[in-house]
Amino acid sequence: MYKERLKSQLLLDSLVGKILPALIVSDPRKADEILAYMKKTDTTLSKFLKKYPEYEDIELNHSLDVTRTLDSIKDDEGNDFLPLANFNHEIFKILTDIIKERNILPIREDLDYQFQLRLSLYRNFNRYLNILINRLDDRKAELLCRKLLDINDGEKFFELISARLDESSDDIINNFFNLGKK
C-alpha cells in the first residue's frame, strides 16, 4: 500500500514537473491552479488525471526508474514508515545544497541524476526522521508529526525538529550525512 501511494506521488510530481514550465509561460492561471491542487494531501495521480484529462498521454521520463527503484525496496508496511516531508519539500533543496557545499557527491545537472538524488534523499531522510521521532513518547511524536506535515518551509521544519528533539539543526543534518558514511 505504501509503495503504491509513493509511486503515485512520485509519478504525479514528475508529471507536474514536466508540464509546469510550459504552463507558467502559456497559461499562468492554470499553472497556479495546478500548484494549488498539488497542495492537497489526498492528491493522487489518478485523481489529478481525472481533473486534468488533457495530460493523460504525456510520457513520464522517470516512470521506469520509479518502478524499478520502488520494486527494489522491501515492504515497509510493518515498519511504520511515515513520509513527513513530501517529495517536493524545500528541505531536499537545502540538503542538496549542503551536498554541493561539502562536496559529498559530485552533483550533475542531468535531470535523471537530479531525480534519483531527490528520490534517495526523500526515502533516506524520511526514514531518518522516523528514527529520530521514535525516540519521543507516542503523544509527543504524534503531535510533532502533525505539525511537520503542515510545514513546507525548510528552515521552519528544521527549527521545529531541533526544538522538539533538543538537538541543533546542524547536528541533525550532520548525523544524517554521517549515517551515509557508515
The whole-number pLDDT of residue 57 equals: 85
pTM: 0.57
Mean pLDDT, each 10-residue run in order, the chain (182 residues): 63 78 86 82 81 85 60 50 79 89 79 79 88 85 84 89 90 85 58
What are the residue ranges spanned by the domains of the chain? 2-68, 80-181
Can you give the pLDDT at residue 156? Answer: 92
- Can you spell out the DSSP letters for the chain? -HHHHHHHHHHHHHHHHHHHHHHHHH-HHHHHHHHHHHTSTT--HHHHHHH-GGGTTPPPTTHHHHHHHHHTSPP-GGGT----S-TT-HHHHHHHHHHHHHTSSPPP--HHHHHHHHHHHHHHHHHHHHHHHTTS-HHHHHHHHHHHHT---HHHHHHHHHHHHTS-HHHHHHHHHHHHH-
